């Protein structure tokens, strides 16, 4: 058994130890995922634009409070809640409004428009073609990106082009953990002097993005599929042996798991044990305590939603791989041994395993809401099914090498 597990790890290494050349691709892939993830969130944005005189006194303000939601086709819609202006020296243009929602918020839009290079761990971004001042609505970001250890963008600094007869400031946008699978923008700041032909104007931007809320929808948005309760309850039930049925995590990844507030210390220990029980293969699980993150263990009235289930795993899929999820547990499952067993079972689903009747497996059904199914760790049968996945991977890479 131990030898097979080592093999799993060995197979995973060539796939995930990326060379430096691949790093830019990783950044773009993660950024693509971030944008897709953002499509599942509504958020609020407060914009404050100001002009200042030489003594740093504010001479004019433009205020715009909005809510961003998405329509059925995944298009972002701005709902302006309040807007007013006392600004006299500057006219806020369509491009200013466009930049606020696009380049100043996220930096890159279509990666194909840019020449990217890595320098000192930062990504330099230059437009591939010179932005054309006759086409002011075709906006280009020009600047650099800061990354975290995982290659995710944490800060964007640059300017938006072309300028034409307008002037645009250098800005900084910072991203942070807001409880989503990726860091999202939390603020944009600029304090720059705009040079016009006959005068200089000091211009300040303060934007906050906040109140990110994942909205539940039955609409399938391209590439990430939030499974509705109905779909995720529609599980596959095998007999004798669980099957690889669901989309799983990338091999070699470490999945960070949180539990929302409300679980007792004993219950949290049970969650940590359950995750640790799976740390024998090519995907690792790390319990990060209370909070929200890549995977969040939550309470819900699951039994009320569907009489047959009291826990389920909701998956978030991007590019054919699982990127985030939630484990929902019915409020009535309170005994630590029940919770331990439930979390082991739901993590089994996240690794691709189907439910299994009459199996010596963690994927067995549960006798009742507050009882264990008898397993608190994957069995040899579970691991043997998972091992097939890495064999499939290996055959693929052999074909590629030939």
| Strand intervals (E) in 71-183 | 76-85, 114-119, 122-127, 140-147, 153-161, 171-176
Residue from 355, 361, 375, 378 touching Zn ion (CB under 5 A): that is: 355
| Strand intervals (E) in 217-278 | 237-239, 254-259
Closest residue to Zn ion in the complex (CB): 355
CB closer to Zn ion out of 178 and 351 = 351
Which range binds Zn ion by CB under 5 A, 76-84, 94-102, 328-336, 349-357? 349-357
Q: How many residues bind Zn ion (CB under 5 A)?
A: 1
- Distance, in Å, from the CA atom of 130 to the CA atom of 181, rounded to the nearest integer, reads 35
CB closer to Zn ion out of 66 and 354 = 354
- Distance, in Å, from the CA atom of 109 to the CA atom of 112, rounded to the nearest integer, reads 9
CB closer to Zn ion out of 161 and 355 = 355
Q: Cα 150 to the chain's mean position, in Å? A: 12
- Distance, in Å, from the CA atom of 73 to the CA atom of 93, rounded to the nearest integer, reads 27
Least Å from the CB of residue 233 to Zn ion: 9
CB closer to Zn ion out of 66 and 361 = 361
Which range binds Zn ion by CB under 5 A, 111-119, 254-262, 290-298, 348-356? 348-356
What is the rounded radius of gyration, in angstroms, for the C-alpha atoms of the chain? 25
Least Å from the CB of residue 314 to Zn ion: 12
Query: CA–CA distance from 330 to each of 206, 297, 327, 339, 342 (Å)?
Result: 42, 11, 10, 10, 10
Binding of Zn ion by 330 (CB under 5 A):
no
In a 13 Å sphere around the CA of 318, the CA atoms on its Cβ side amount to 18
Least Å from the CB of residue 281 to Zn ion: 19
Least Å from the CB of residue 346 to Zn ion: 7
Least Å from the CB of residue 345 to Zn ion: 6
Where on the chain is the footprint of Zn ion (CB under 5 A)?
355
């Amino acid at each position: 058994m131990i030898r097979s597990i080592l093999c799993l790890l060995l197979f995973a290494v060539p796939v995930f130890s990326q060379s430096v050349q691949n790093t830019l691709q990783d950044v773009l892939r993660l950024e693509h995922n971030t944008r897709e993830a953002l499509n599942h969130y509504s958020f609020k944005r407060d914009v404050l634009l100001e002009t200042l005189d030489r003594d740093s006194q504010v001479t004019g303000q433009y205020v715009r409070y909005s809510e961003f939601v998405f329509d059925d086709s995944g298009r972002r819609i701005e709902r302006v809640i309040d807007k007013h202006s006392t600004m006299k020296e500057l006219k806020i243009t369509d491009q200013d409004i466009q930049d606020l929602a696009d380049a100043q918020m996220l930096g890159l839009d279509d990666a194909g428009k840019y020449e990217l290079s890595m320098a000192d761990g930062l990504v330099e971004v230059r437009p591939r073609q010179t932005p054309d001042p006759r086409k002011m609505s075709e906006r280009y970001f020009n600047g650099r990106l800061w990354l975290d250890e995982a290659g995710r963008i944490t800060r964007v600094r640059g300017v938006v082009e072309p300028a034409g007869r307008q002037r645009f400031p250098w800005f900084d946008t910072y991203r942070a953990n807001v409880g989503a699978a990726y860091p999202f923008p939390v603020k944009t700041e600029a304090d720059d002097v705009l040079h016009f032909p006959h005068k200089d104007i000091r211009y300040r931007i303060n934007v906050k993005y906040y109140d990110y809320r994942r909205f539940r929808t039955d609409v399938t948005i391209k590439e990430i599929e939030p499974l509705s309760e109905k779909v995720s309850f529609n599980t596959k039930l095998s007999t004798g042996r669980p099957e690889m049925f669901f989309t799983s995590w990338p091999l070699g990844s470490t999945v960070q798991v949180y539990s929302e507030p409300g679980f007792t210390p004993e219950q949290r220990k049970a969650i940590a044990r359950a995750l640790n029980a799976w740390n024998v293969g090519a995907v690792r699980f790390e319990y990060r305590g209370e909070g929200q993150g890549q995977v969040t263990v939550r309470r819900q009235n699951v039994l009320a939603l569907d009489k047959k289930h009291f826990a389920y795993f909701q998956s978030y899929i991007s590019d054919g791989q699982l990127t985030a999820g939630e484990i929902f547990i019915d409020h009535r499952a309170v005994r630590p041994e029940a919770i331990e067993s439930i979390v082991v079972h739901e993590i089994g689903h996240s690794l691709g395993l189907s439910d299994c009747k009459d199996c010596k497996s963690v994927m067995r059904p549960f006798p009742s809401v507050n009882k264990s199914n008898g397993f608190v760790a994957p069995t040899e049968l579970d691991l043997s099914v998972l091992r097939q996945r890495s064999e499939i991977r290996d055959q693929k890479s052999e074909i590629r090498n030939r």
